């Protein structure tokens, strides 16, 4: 079945700098890749997603890139702010399947 690896497990950056989180997936039939942000005591919230027919998607300070050949996708956050501090999860969904397969999460800390 699909397996998603996420790196790094923790990331600390200075406010205003950029943060990059990377994920790899194993099943070439995966075609949907969402990113979720989870704050303490809350459920995951979708922040951006990408489908396999595009290579990049951007929403203000957040962007996601997808390399289908290499089977990896990345989250880029620019001009980081303290409120970006949270745990971020990547996920992948195999075409025809119902479930999301999640990475292990990255704890992002923005230092003021």
Q: Residues interacting with other proteins, by CB under 8 A?
A: 4, 6, 32, 34, 36, 41-46, 49, 89, 91, 93, 97-105
Smallest separation, CB 48 to other proteins (Å): 11
Smallest separation, CB 40 to other proteins (Å): 11
DSSP 38-101: E-TTS--EEEEEEETT-SEEEETTEEEEEETTTTEEEEEE-S--GGG-EEEEEEEEETT----E
Smallest separation, CB 76 to other proteins (Å): 20
């Amino acid at each position: 079945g699909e397996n998603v690896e996420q790196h790094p497990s923790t990331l600390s950056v200075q406010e205003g700098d950029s943060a990059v989180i990377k994920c790899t997936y194993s099943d070439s039939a995966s075609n949907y890749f969402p990113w979720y942000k989870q704050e303490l005591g809350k459920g995951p919230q979708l922040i951006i997603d990408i489908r396999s027919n595009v290579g990049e998607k951007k929403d203000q300070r957040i962007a996601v890139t997808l390399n289908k050949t290499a089977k990896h996708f990345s989250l880029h956050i620019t001009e980081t702010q303290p409120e970006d501090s949270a745990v971020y999860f990547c996920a992948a969904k195999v075409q025809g399947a119902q479930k999301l397969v999640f990475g292990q999460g990255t704890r992002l800390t923005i230092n003021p």
